[in-house]
């Protein structure tokens, strides 16, 4: 079950990254409704990810990186930055969505310029961490 959930988590992270990118592309083209749909979907996928991740962690606990040498340093560098930024994503994303729901567009845009790259980085590195831990 733990391996299945880990794979599901990587798929959810990858899906979140794709949805975020599509939302970014939509707003760059001034397609506000599509932007809203993609970003709300990315948020929903991220919520499902968090539930799945916490379930996997509860069931199987932390996993040790089995390799030594330079790849271990690379892995832990990615994992550390991923983890530190992942803690920020729920707060940033909820606040950014809240500002959009309240139609406070200037504040939404300012915060989204921070939220988007952090959330994208966390989503992409989540897949990288999975690949390094389970597939490398």
Q: Residue ranges per domain, the chain?
A: 2-135
Q: At what angle do helices 105-130 and 32-60 cross, to 10 degrees?
A: 40
Asked if residue 82 lies in contact with residue 122, where contact means CB atoms within 8 angstroms, the answer is yes
User: 1 pLDDT exceeds 90?
Assistant: no
- Among 10, 13, 20, 24, smallest CA distance to 41 is for 20
> What size, in residues, is the chain?
136
pTM over 0.85: yes
What confidence tier does 38 reach under pLDDT thresholds 50, 70, 90?
very high
Residue 73, pLDDT > 90, answer yes
- pLDDT number for residue 5: 94
- Lowest mean pLDDT: which of 15-24, 62-71, 72-81, 102-111? 62-71
Third-level CATH fold of 2-135: 1.20.120
Report the pLDDT value the prediction gives residue 58, as an integer from 0 to 100.
Answer: 94
Radius of gyration of the chain (CA): 16
Q: Give the per-residue pLDDT at 55.
A: 95
Helices 2-28 and 105-130, packing angle to 10 deg: 140
């Amino acid at each position: 079950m733990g391996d299945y959930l880990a794979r599901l988590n990587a798929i959810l992270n990858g899906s979140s990254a794709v949805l975020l990118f599509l939302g970014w592309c939509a707003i760059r083209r001034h397609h506000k409704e599509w932007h809203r749909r993609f970003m709300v979907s990315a948020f929903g996928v991220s919520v499902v990810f968090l539930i799945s991740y916490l379930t996997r962690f509860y069931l199987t606990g932390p996993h040790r990186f089995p390799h030594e040498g330079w790849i271990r340093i690379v892995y832990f560098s990615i994992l550390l930055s991923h983890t530190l930024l992942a803690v920020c994503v729920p707060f940033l994303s909820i606040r950014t969505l809240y500002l959009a729901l309240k139609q406070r567009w200037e504040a939404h845009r300012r915060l989204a310029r921070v939220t988007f790259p952090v959330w994208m980085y966390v989503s992409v590195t989540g897949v990288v961490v999975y690949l390094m831990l389970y597939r490398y």
